Structure 1
């Protein structure tokens, strides 16, 4: 926990496939130390609710001497809410890998995989949605609507 306290930036995420049957997930926190990222904390958690994450981060807080400047997480609302509550001065950022993973799931759920793979124009249009992560917040809705309009034209 000393090294976790020394890290100004954390990456936190859960994984489900490796958790023993008694638990729901293995949650890990990685920290930046001297320009490198190391796994610093592992915990088996029984679920992924606000209450479970709240209890987990309460225990983490009891064993660290300072809060990180930032934490990168996936798009899980419960984790985001709890971190913002427990670490109010910490900047919470979302992971670009998870954004792209969520976009791929949406493409799959909409039945667009064949079209995505077969039509380079559709592929480019749909991949452009990931770029929204780099647009200033006050322009995201406008750019999303523009991309949506262009994409619908490509798909129809």
Structure 2
């Protein structure tokens, strides 16, 4: 067995002063809250602010950790050959501090929506589950292990 390989990603539920949340419509995943992979040498906070700005045009202040997630499913990439590594994802609440809504190479549409209505648009099971964790968030972050392939299945769930 070689060195372990993980993809580290961050997600941000961005709130504006009206209490709405930011959603972006991606090419592959439909409507999601923004986020993406942390690059080599980049910290989580900087990575999340960069991803949100790139995907939506909105500048944020990163606030609270909502949850930590492991997607431990083993499956092939779109090419049918490459193994997809385990993903570790950290979701945070964020506050909008500037910028203008826009789209990017990754996003077809961006919008503010009432936080209670976001689940009307989010279809991916893992993203719906993680967004629900945001809605249910009290004081302590959660940890969840799940797989998304062949079907979404929660393997472990607890607070940390």
TM-score, reference length from structure 1:
0.25
TM-score, reference length from structure 2:
0.24
Structure with higher Rg: it is 1
Q: With CA pairs under 8 Å and 6+ residues apart, which has the higher RCO, 1 or 2?
A: 2
Would you tell me which structure has more helix in proportion to its own residues? 1
